[in-house]
């Protein structure tokens, strides 16, 4: 997975088990639900497990930061079942956008976020944290952007409430072994 216009790691040929919808020129947005009132944030605690019943995700969460070139680390390709949390941002439940990343697929087949594009507004996301607590989120909307137009401020920018971003690849698979787009789920804390 490559985020934004960041330099790419060594190309890896990957294939999907299902055809993907074609990339759009304009960012696409699925209908969003009415915004719920904000929920109070919780103290910091790193995420350890992610569950999204609607799309069959039940996955361990690891911690990642930045690569030496300044790009965001992603989960290792040899562990397609893992999700990574970007540790330079808020932990889930804190004010701001907690960012979790997962692969769409690898050369071995579908990966943890292979069905991320199937999320719908209102779907529940649960994150177990290191302190034993669980925080819940509701999907607000799902967006797809060409990687060259990655919405850095939307993903990493400050927010007034606890929010969540789930990110994977999307679009079409290019000859370089990378997808053309990113799929981003935006969610709000509901506990």
CB 117 within 8 A of CB 152: no
pLDDT tens for residues 155-190?
A: 999 999 999 999 999 999 998 989 999 999 999 999
Domains and CATH numbers, the chain: 33-189 (2.40.260.10)
Whole-angstrom CA distances from 147 to 28, 32, 36, 159 are 13, 23, 30, 22
Answer yes or no: is pLDDT of 26 > 60.
Answer: no
Q: The whole model's pTM is what?
A: 0.81
Residues linked to residue 62 through DSSP beta bridges, in sequence order:
84
């Amino acid at each position: 997975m490559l985020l934004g216009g960041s330099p790419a790691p060594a190309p890896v040929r990957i294939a999907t088990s299902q055809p993907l919808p074609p990339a759009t020129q304009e960012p696409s947005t699925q209908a969003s639900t009415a915004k719920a009132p904000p929920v109070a944030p919780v103290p910091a605690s790193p995420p350890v497990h992610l569950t999204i019943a609607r799309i069959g995700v039940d996955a361990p969460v690891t911690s990642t930061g930045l690569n030496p070139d300044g790009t965001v680390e992603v989960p290792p390709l040899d562990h397609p079942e893992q999700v990574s949390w970007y540790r330079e941002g808020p932990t889930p439940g804190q004010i701001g956008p907690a960012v979790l990343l997962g692969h769409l697929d690898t050369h071995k087949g579908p990966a943890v976020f292979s069905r991320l594009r199937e999320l719908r507004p209102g779907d529940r996301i649960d994150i177990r944290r290191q302190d034993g607590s669980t925080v819940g989120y509701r999907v607000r909307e799902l967006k797809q952007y060409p990687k060259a137009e990655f919405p850095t401020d939307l993903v990493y920018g400050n927010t007034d409430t606890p929010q969540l971003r789930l990110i994977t690849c999307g679009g079409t698979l290019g000859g370089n072994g990378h997808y053309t787009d990113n799929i981003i789920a935006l969610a709000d804390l509901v506990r």
